[in-house]
Amino acid sequence: MANYIIRRLFMLVVILFSASLIIFLIMKAAPGDPATVLLGENATKQAIIEVNAKYGLDKPLPIQYVKMMTNLLKGELNSIYYKDNVLKIVTKRLPATLELGFFAIVLAVAISVPVGIISAVKRNSIFDYLAMSTALLGVSIPVFFTGIILMYVFAVKLSWLPASGFGGHIWTAEGFKHFILPGISLSFVLMSSTTRLTRSAMLDVINQDYMRTAKAKGLSKMKIILTHGLKNAMIPIVTNIGNQVASIFAGAVLTETVFSWPGVGRLAVDAVFRRDEPLVFGAVVMLAGIYVVVNLFVDILYAFIDPQISYD
């Protein structure tokens, strides 16, 4: 196990390096000039030259990348717009994104796994048809559109929940109210895909020999489903949840923008419009780091779910 983790950590470094290079090249391929955006279209040529020189934007691309990456690793990368340390800015916004993502994942799993199990046990029932139709709808609708619909219904028409903004941490009453709409919006795709996969995985194990043997021993139906069925169906479910973490953070960019959420996603969007390249670079690399770490955790979790899996 230790050797596997070391190899994966090495791969993590390679993946983050590749991701950072791709992000850097995409930023450079985007139209516009950071100095012009910062100073305005009426800025003089001399002022633009001075800003480019100050932030090293007049250097060749390889030198710019090395300098940006080095400054990020040393914690010395500064935002062009905020004129402050990028890690400090991102770290300040990160808790809001992590809380929203954690809430969305917990909500999705808490609803989708039981619904998927019931759909498999009551196959072709009214409940099954409704659940699968809703799940199909969930994977078909974009995150931002779901957010707008929820906002219109529950905030504008019914006035039950706040439309946008951050009301505090999730463990506070006011904060939790602000988490509900963006959390549901962000979790809807994960909820839908996990429901469908749970149903499919449970249908595969329900007719296995060990399930019939457990029934012949006189075990209750609930114990058979949860102890024998769900345990053996967990590998694809956990895999899907781990893979969907990327969608959670990618969706956070849109969700945070729609709900004016003060997280890293909205910060990155604002930085793109302001052509704040160091801030975009730092924010996206940090989100990529969270994604690969979570996937490493999911792979390690396999060995605890299924003892037959070994990384030695």
Say whether domain 86-305 belongs to CATH 1.20.120.430.
Answer: no
- Backbone CA torsion sign across 143, 144, 150, 153: negative
Domain boundaries, the chain: 86-305
User: pLDDT tens per residue, the chain (312 residues)?
Assistant: 677 777 777 888 888 888 888 888 888 887 777 777 777 777 777 877 887 787 777 788 888 888 888 888 888 888 888 888 888 898 888 888 888 888 888 888 899 889 988 888 888 889 989 988 888 888 888 888 888 888 888 888 888 888 888 877 888 888 888 888 888 888 888 888 888 888 888 888 777 767 677 677 776 777 777 776 777 777 777 777 777 776 676 667 778 888 888 888 888 888 888 888 888 888 888 878 877 787 777 777 766 666 666 555
Tell me the whole-structure pTM to 2 decimals.
Answer: 0.78
Give whole-number Cα distances, 263 to 269, 283, 287, in Å. 10, 10, 11
Instruction: Name residues whose C-beta falls within 8 Å of residue 287's C-beta, 6 or more positions apart in sequence.
Output: 249, 264, 265, 268
**Neighbouring C-alpha atoms within 13 Å toward the C-beta of 42:** 0
Per-residue tokens: 14 = 């390679």
